[in-house]
Amino acid sequence: MPLVYSSGAQNARKVICMKKLSLLMLSLFLGSFLVAPASAATVGSANVSGIVSHVSDNNIKITDGTGKQLSFLIVPKFDKVFSADGKTTYQMRAIKAGQYVKVYYDQKFLGQRHADRILLLRQNNSIKRTE
């Protein structure tokens, strides 16, 4: 008989321990949702300014001040194109080769650079279009 009581006490301890562990895991899981929106609000981990040398539906290629060409993936329905002050929004078709832009980007998805936001710089740094 003492084995039964001993076994029952051990089972009760295991159940209590599992409940505490479950509550800890649940609180960590729910806590991750509180932190996620704050980190999702950040735009890109890096930025670069340069002249647009190519733009298409799914990528944009710019040449920075050192002459290095950088290519960025653009998701379909990309709508994060703004004026330099961030107040005016533009459609992707407003970007043309020869314009001076600033691209905020990151490299999380398979190591490819992808644009998070593009600013059209038009005041002192723009190249005049001749049409």
Query: How distant, in Å, are the alpha carbons of 5, 14, 18, 93 from that of 9?
Result: 6, 9, 14, 71
Rounded Cα distance between 44 and 96, Å, is 22
Rounded Cα distance between 73 and 106, Å, is 10
Going residue by residue through the chain, which has 131 residues, state the pLDDT in tens, using 9 for 90 and above: 444 455 666 777 888 888 888 888 877 777 666 654 444 445 567 889 999 999 988 899 999 889 899 999 888 777 788 887 778 888 888 888 888 899 988 887 677 888 888 888 865 554 444 44
pTM over 0.85, yes/no: no
pLDDT in tens, 31-40: 666 654 444 4
